[in-house]
Amino acid sequence: MGKNIYTIITGSGSYIPTKILKNEDFLKSEFYDATGERILQANEEIIQKFKQITEIEERRYIEDEYVTSDIGYFAAEEAIKSSNTDRESFDYIIVAHNFGDVKKDNMKVDMLPALSSRIKQKLGIKNPYTVAYDLPFGCPGWLQALIQADYYIKSGDAKKILVIGAETLSRISDPHDRDSLIYSDGAGAIIVEGIESSVPVGILTHKTRTDAIDHAWLLYMDKSFNPNIPKSELYLKMNGRKLYEYALTTVPQLVKDTIDKAGLLLGNIKKVLIHQANAKMDDAMLARLFRLFGEKSIPEHIMPMTISNLGNNSVATLPILYDLLMKGKLENHKLIQGDHFVFASVGAGMNVNAVVYKMQ
């Protein structure tokens, strides 16, 4: 049997900010609805209901002195050091984010030069053929960057790629919008390399879809709900109910299609690493995935979760989740040689993607 080129992950790193905000830290917040009316419901009740739906108890916010490219660099540096990789050997550095470097005291988006170039400079990489570029693709951006890396490697264009996801949603979320309690900050990075193998390993299959006609504006930028804040300031907004319905309809089917494409059964999948957006939504998507396969019982510990203490940090959730898993920092979760697992994400666009991976 001849050998084929496969893309495998050879290193990972993450940066989890040290600033912790617990739910009770929002008890004195002033919340408004979309019409600009002050919400009279007690904050204790708002936060209690929020926790019931999302299971979030606390989240991490970036330290005041840092921006997105800083924490992306920290995660990349950890991935390089932990894997003992020659940093001059990267063919590409792909950085997934959505809002650039937003400073603590200035909400304006700063994306020039690209965050990838900033991170490459911070890493001290001199090789001019280490091509650095950014990928804004909503929350699925990091996973789409991984898919692009797989294309580069299997085409013979690259041998080693650094894939980073970094985001600081706390800087662009509306403090007067209850939905903002979901958002958090963080960064994760992986290193992927091409290897020759006579048996399939690493990335086996992937699929992506974009539904823009009816769903492009489920996540968008708009003025604060607080009418006293200038309308020129834009904050992250979402249509939570319709987003939930969209995710429940599209994500499980896409994941099933990706598993089917790999010629696997659901029973072959040891872990489902899914974007940490909302625990209730993630649980519902997993249950529907099993129903699509005709399975009624869901194995315990198949879906590791970090949202209760890390919140939703967009493109960073999957690489952080993977890094914590591979470094033994998630109780009752591990992957060993020969195990199959799935990455899956959903977010602004609306975009959905999935990857099936086999541990080498």
Collapsing DSSP to helix, strand or coil, 10 comes out as strand
DSSP secondary structure string, 77-106?
HHHHHHHT--GGG-SEEEEE-SSB--BTTB
Given pLDDT bands bounded at 50, 70 and 90, which one contains residue 109?
confident
Q: Are strands 131-135 and 160-168 parallel, antiparallel or unpaired?
A: unpaired
Secondary structure element (H or E) that encloses residue 123, with its range: helix 115-123
The answer to whether 123 and 95 are in contact (CB under 8 A) is no
Q: Which amino acid is residue 294, in one-letter code?
A: G
The answer to whether 21 and 211 are in contact (CB under 8 A) is no
For the chain, give the percent of residues with pLDDT over 90. 93
Given pLDDT bands bounded at 50, 70 and 90, which one contains residue 238?
very high
Q: Which residue is it, tokens 């960064």? A: 187
For the whole model, what pTM was predicted? 0.94
In angstroms, what CA-CA distances link 226 with 37, 41, 213, 235, 316?
8, 16, 30, 11, 29
pLDDT for position 2: 76
Alpha helices in the chain (DSSP H): 43-54, 68-83, 115-123, 141-155, 240-261, 279-292, 307-310, 317-326
pLDDT for position 65: 96
Q: The tokens of 67 are what? A: 């921006």
The answer to whether 248 and 284 are in contact (CB under 8 A) is yes
- pLDDT value at 358 more than 90: yes
129-146 average pLDDT score: 97
Question: Whole-angstrom Cα distance, residue 154 to residue 194?
Answer: 7
- pLDDT value at 183 more than 80: yes
Cross-strand partners of 342? 272, 356
253-282 average pLDDT score: 95
Question: Whole-angstrom Cα distance, residue 315 to residue 59?
Answer: 15
pLDDT for position 298: 94
pLDDT for position 1: 56
99-104 average pLDDT score: 94
305-328 average pLDDT score: 96
Q: Which residues of 174-198 are buried (b: 16+ CB within 10 A; e: fewer)?
A: bbbbbbbbbbbbbbbbbbbbbbeee
For the chain, domains (ranges, CATH) are 4-197 (3.40.47.10), 202-358 (3.40.47.10)
pLDDT for position 106: 84
The answer to whether 281 and 345 are in contact (CB under 8 A) is no
